[in-house]
Structure 1
């Protein structure tokens, strides 16, 4: 039922028009559409019931995101509805429930500022400092590639203290905070966040430094599965568009889809989508019951498969569309750009194969 309602919403909306309307604009996306998604319960899908959320599992989450992925809308459902929500749900901060309730209602947008270097995968890769004060913490450092920050009124920032990496909530307008807007390949926004002696009250420590690293790593791994579901959805849609084009485009008096060479390539792409689906289904079923190491293995296997698959389908879609596929007027290019962005976000295929190899107990015995 959830995926059906999401599919109906996407089919009724002109998502490609919205992507073109909002790309490379500092606002990033339409807040009215974000409010609609919140009212439908999508933002609060993984939020606990005590905060007004639906408290559904990873399987339901990926079913939703596979459908919204087909629409390639610019709204940051994975970055906010999964990453920020799970970081808050995992912590024990005084204001965590209030922050989650605001997210669920749609009146609050929360972005997670954790990454500093390109290619970072783990919460431990953190140089931003949290110095304790009498009433809280002082944060100093620089975060980069922050998703969902264009409309955010709260930032969750990871910072290193003596005990480890903690998570802290602050506002973009706080003294000492400076946001620098940039854009990804698909025109969606990302931000670099500069922090200079930012005062954070003790009650806004989302996760204590002795627990923050494990909480953030688990949230990141769940978000990798969510992003994989989005890539699966957009890959399915890109393949459908390509098959339609092969049926319609004629050459030498025949539809080019009747040529055996293109038929074989199309079948290979269909098999790729089914391998992506299988990887996501396995990850979604196993993730919540797994320990930290297995969560990392599950997420990396899923993200590697889906990142590589989405890029393959995107490249083949452009090639099979021919010259029109290179034009900005044709929608297929929007799917290619989104695939490039999502394939790299939170680690590309090569990075996750390397991570999987490093963590795999079977490979330790070789």
Structure 2
């Protein structure tokens, strides 16, 4: 087994052990019922050092490679962890700013305001432009913007840091169908911004977001499979466990095969991602996220089917997994959008990946 193998990685194993003990079913259900933002939970994770895992040592972090975050996000998926975990773990690792590092130490989120979370619905999501150090535009869906201590705004190819209290900035609460996320609309009217000079930052940020979301979706699919196998062995009909019925065995076997393929793809992506060029990283990330978007939802749908009528109710944990998988499927591209992008790269003979 390699250092990236699920269950063997020390970070993933430590997170799994803690969540199993401290984020049990009763606590998870209370947090899901109460909404996605829980400052005590993020402060707890910050104190454990989870948000500083991939922060360089010279900025007070553990200096782990970004690939080491993959098994952590698998566990976030398996345990259905709510809150701004993507923002709090990934952004401090990539952006060298004292305000972001401080957020990682306290758990107060840094919101990633990025119109590029989708291309297919870009016209509906909005856009942001940067002119002479000022940001203007609207992003109609940003995760945890109302709770953030700092906004990381992507304006075309530039990442900018924005104070949430800056003049000209308005943040409006939105309803959320995602049990793990709060959304807000961010409106910017000539808002002062601090641009970060790094041409590769935007594609790296989006690529790693896709990879970590793929890992989280893999964890969701795995736990849905585990719950289903437990249910098939426990539920009886006609005097025997329903898992003994041939038709149900076939569905469960297909669920396992799909999750295994996704799991292995995530491992392979993590193994190659740290040293990859930006064009290669974008291709690997899009491939992993596209497959995860399809597989996780399909596995969760099969889990609901095999749980019968109770699978659709809020009393069944698999319904929560399904809702979460649906929400994460589209964030930074679903299978349709990303496969279209991959196809365009394969047909483009001038793309850097094709010319190296």
1:227 aligns with 2:220: no
Give 1:240's aligned residue. 226
Matches within 5 A, 1:1-366: 1-14=10-23, 16-18=25-27, 20-23=29-32, 28-82=36-90, 84-89=91-96, 96=97, 98-106=98-106, 108-115=108-115, 119=119, 127-132=127-132, 137-159=133-155, 165-187=157-179, 188-200=181-193, 204-205=194-195, 207-208=196-197, 211-212=198-199, 214-360=200-346
Seen in structure 2, the aligned counterparts of structure 1 residues 116 and 279 have a Cα distance that, compared at 3 Å, is closer
Distance, in Å, in 2 between the alignment partners of 1:183 and 1:121 is 18
**CA separation of 1:290 and 1:14: change in aligned 2, threshold 3 A:** closer
Distance 2:183 2:30 in 1: 17
SS at match of 1:324: helix
Deviations 1:308-334 (A, max 9, x none): 110111100111000111111221111
Quick check: 2:39–2:107 contact (8 Å CA) kept in 1?
no
How far off is 1:228 after superposition? Answer: 0.8
Secondary structure at the counterpart of residue 62 of structure 2: coil
SS at match of 2:52: coil
- Cα distance, 1:138–1:362 mapped onto 2, change above 3 Å: closer
The normalised TM-score by structure 2 is 0.88
Does structure 2 conserve the Cα–Cα contact (< 8 Å) formed by 1:47 and 1:100? no
Q: Structure 1: 5+ residue runs without aligned partners?
A: 90-95
Unaligned runs of 5+ in 2: 1-9
SS in 1 for 2:185: strand
Distance in 1 (alpha carbons) for counterparts of 2:54 and 2:140: 25
- CA–CA separation in structure 2 for the residues paired with 1:32 and 1:52: 22
Task: Return the offset for 1:293.
Answer: 1.4
Over aligned residues, Cα RMSD in angstroms? 2.5
Distance 1:191 1:227 in 2: 20
